[in-house]
Amino acid sequence: MSIRKDFSDFLFRGNIVDLAVGVIIGGAFGKIVSAFVDDLVMPFVGALLPGGAWREFAIEPVAGMKFQVGHLLGQTLDFVIVAAVLFFVLIKLVGSFKKKAAEAPPAPATKICPECLEAVPVAAKRCKHCTSVLPA
């Protein structure tokens, strides 16, 4: 096989294409989630949090070394808010729609023979394993 054919097979393997589609959809979905959080959730959070430049708080233990604690806390808070929005919107809201749409489980296709405890079709009148008569 040629290198070109091997490379082509690698590129168009199902897993690679699925991964590429997932990354693209994930990026687009990330923009939607960010817009939702920035435009609808953060105004409420901003009203609850103290004002001021708390995100720019820094500790400088040694000259030239600066720990930006406020930035770290702000990014952590943003992550927790995005994770909460994803949890409540995707997991709880969409999950509740899936539960409502779930159908009743299908009737079993087999039953158990009371004599030999083997599985036999529901319509069977005799067990094919022990030949006992099955109840209706």
The most distant pair of C-alpha atoms in the chain lies apart, rounded to whole Å, by 91
Q: What percent of the chain has pLDDT over 90?
A: 3
| Structural domains of the chain, ranges and CATH numbers in brackets | 3-101 (1.10.1200), 105-136 (no CATH)
Model confidence at 130, pLDDT cuts 50, 70, 90, reads confident
* d(C-alpha 124, C-alpha 108), whole Å: 13
Tell me, what's the pLDDT at 48? 80
Q: Which residue has the higher pLDDT, 1 or 96?
A: 96
CA angle 53, 55, 56 (to 5 degrees): 70
What's the pLDDT tens digit per position in 56-65? 889 998 888 9
The band of 102, judged by pLDDT with boundaries at 50, 70 and 90, is low
Which pTM was predicted? Answer: 0.52
Amino acid at 118: E
